[in-house]
Amino acid sequence: MNKPLAERLRPKSLEDYISQKHLVGDKGSLRNQIEKGIIPSLILWGPPGVGKTTLANIVAETTDRPFYTLSAISSGVKDVREVIERAKKQDGLFTTKNPILFIDEIHRFSKSQQDSLLGAVEKGWVTLIGATTENPSFEVIPALLSRCQVYVLNSFTKEDLIQLLERAIKKDQLLSSKNIELKETQALLRASGGDARKLLNIFELIVNSEGKNEIQITNTLVEEKIQQNVVRYDKTGEQHYDIISAFIKSIRGSDPNAAVYWLARMIEGGEDLKFIARRLVISASEDIGIANPTALIMANNTFQAVTTVGYPEARIILSQCVVYLATSAKSNASYMAINKAQQLVKQTGDLPVPLPLRNAPTKLMKELGYGDDYKYAHNYENNFAEAEFLPQDIAGTKLYEPGNNKREQLNREFLKNRWKSKYDY
C-alpha cells in the first residue's frame, strides 16, 4: 500500500476510465478500434494528468498485447533498440498480436532517437503509442508522425475531477475506512490545475496529514496544507501552463519587466528552449502582427538562434527578443481576421469560386467561362482594378479591420482609397 493514491486508483478498463468520451465513449473514435483489436501506432496528445499513460495501459490490456514502456527523459537510442529487439523476439511467440511500445513524453526524444523507431513501426514489429503534452506537429519528426494517428485528450472538467475524488473516497481501501466529507472543492481543483494525478496526490496528502478518521475537506484546510507543502507540489504541470500564460500576457500588455521575470522563472525551472521560443513566434504574429511585421522575423530568428546556441547563452537571445516584443506596437487584427474568416467558412460551407478567378488550363474550361472578365491589376492605374474576389453569397464581407497603430492606419488609408464603394474603411 505504499503506492500513491493516483496509482492505486488507476483505471484498468474503459468502463472505469473517466472523461475523453470523444475517444473512448460508446461512439468514441478510438474505442471501436480497441474493441476490434486493430490498433494503429498512435500519439496521445494532451495536458498533464488527463490519462494518457492509463489509456495506453488499457489499450494493451484490452487487446491482450505485450507491453513495453520507456520514458523519453531517461532512455536513449540504445534503450529503444534493446526494447525493439526484445519485442521482435516475442512477436508471435505467445500471441499473434504485435507488442505495444509506450513512450512517455515522446516530445523529449531527439531526432536520432525518433529515427530509431521508424523501422520497427513501419515493419510492424511494434505498435507505438507515444504520449506528449506538446504539439506533435512540432515535436515529432514528420516521418514518424505520418505513420501514427494523433488523438487529442481534453482537459478534465470540474465534474470529472469531483467524480475522481468521490471515487477515491468510496473505492480506495485506505480512504474508504475514513469518514471523509467533500464540503468544498474549489481550492483542491485550483491547486490541481486540472491534473488528475496531482489532484489525487494532494488529496491524499491532506487526508494523511489530518491523522484522524473524521475529515471535512474545506478550502481553508486545503490552502493551509498546500502552503506547508508548497515545494512538494511546485513542479511541472500547472506551473508550466500558468507561467507561460503570465509570460505571454506580459508581452501582450507591453510590460518588459514582467515578461523578463517570467522568462527567468522558466529558464531557472529548466523549461524547454524550443517551447519558449515557439511561443514568442506565435506572440509576434497574434499580438503584434502588422503593427510591426519585423517582430515575426525577430522571433523566428530567435527560434533558430537559441536552437543552435543552447543554454546558458540562449537566455540572452531570448531576453532580447522578449524585450523587443514587449515594447513593440501591438495589433491582433490579423488574428481576428482569420478567426472571422474561419467562422464564415464553417457557416457558409464550400462556396463556388467566381468564374473570373478560376484557373483555365484546358480548352473546355475556357469554353465554360473560367477566367472570363478577370482584370489583371497591373494593367490598370495604380495597379488596381475594382472587382469581386469573394464568392457571390458573401460578396462585400469585411474580415480585416486595421488596428489602431501607425502602420495599420496607413493600411486603412490604402484600403479606403482603393475600396471606396465596397468596404467601409
> At 185, which CATH number?
1.10.8
- Give the pLDDT mean for 111-125: 87
Query: Residue 324's pLDDT band (boundaries 50, 70, 90)?
Result: very high
> At 147, which CATH number?
3.40.50.300
- The verdict on residue 75 lying in a domain is yes
Question: Are residue 77 and residue 132 in the same domain, yes or no?
Answer: yes
Question: Are residue 118 and residue 53 in the same domain, yes or no?
Answer: yes
Question: pLDDT for 342-387, tens place per residue?
Answer: 999 988 888 888 888 888 777 777 777 777 888 888 888 888 888 8
| Arithmetic mean of pLDDT over the chain | 86
Distance (Å, whole) CA 101 – CA 245:
33
pTM of the model: 0.61
Compute φ and ψ for 129, nearest 5 degrees. Answer: -125, 115
Res. 93: pLDDT tops 60: no
**Number of separate domains in the chain:** 4
Q: What percent of the chain clears pLDDT 70, i.e. is strictly above it?
A: 95
- The verdict on residue 204 lying in a domain is yes
Q: What percent of the chain clears pLDDT 90, i.e. is strictly above it?
A: 34
Res 396: pLDDT: 85
- Give the pLDDT mean for 228-246: 59
Q: Tell me how crowded residue 102 is: count the other CB atoms within 10 A of its CB.
A: 24
Question: Are residue 319 and residue 364 in the same domain, yes or no?
Answer: no
Question: Are residue 363 and residue 258 in the same domain, yes or no?
Answer: no
Question: Are residue 167 and residue 145 in the same domain, yes or no?
Answer: no
What the block records as the C-alpha cell of 29 is 473514435
Question: Are residue 32 and residue 143 in the same domain, yes or no?
Answer: yes
Res 235: pLDDT: 40
- The verdict on residue 338 lying in a domain is no
3-class DSSP string for 363-415 = HHHHHCCCCCCCCCHHHCHHHCCCCCCCCHHHCCCCCCCCCCCHHHHHHHHHH
- The verdict on residue 337 lying in a domain is no
Question: Are residue 28 and residue 134 in the same domain, yes or no?
Answer: yes
Question: pLDDT for 289-302, tens place per residue?
Answer: 999 999 999 999 99
Question: Are residue 363 and residue 262 in the same domain, yes or no?
Answer: no
Distance (Å, whole) CA 265 – CA 273:
13
> At 401, which CATH number?
1.10.3710
Question: Are residue 64 and residue 105 in the same domain, yes or no?
Answer: yes
Question: Are residue 207 and residue 250 in the same domain, yes or no?
Answer: no
> At 312, which CATH number?
1.20.272.10
Query: Residue 319's pLDDT band (boundaries 50, 70, 90)?
Result: very high
Q: Tell me how crowded residue 317 is: count the other CB atoms within 10 A of its CB.
A: 19
Query: Residue 228's pLDDT band (boundaries 50, 70, 90)?
Result: low
Residue whose cell numbers read 518588459:
256
Sort residue 335 into left (φ over 0), alpha (ψ -120 to 50) or beta: alpha
Query: Residue 96's pLDDT band (boundaries 50, 70, 90)?
Result: low
Distance (Å, whole) CA 317 – CA 295:
14
* Final residue before a domain boundary, out of 228, 259, 283: 228
For 186, the 3-state DSSP assignment is helix
Query: Residue 227's pLDDT band (boundaries 50, 70, 90)?
Result: low
Res. 124: pLDDT tops 80: yes
- Give the pLDDT mean for 25-49: 88
**Domain of residue 192, residue span:** 158-228
Res. 211: pLDDT tops 80: no
- Give the pLDDT mean for 52-57: 93
- The verdict on residue 267 lying in a domain is yes
- What's the farthest any 2 CA atoms get from each other in the chain? 87
Question: Are residue 86 and residue 162 in the same domain, yes or no?
Answer: no
- The verdict on residue 129 lying in a domain is yes
Question: Are residue 208 and residue 269 in the same domain, yes or no?
Answer: no
* Final residue before a domain boundary, out of 326, 360, 391: 326
Res. 231: pLDDT tops 70: no
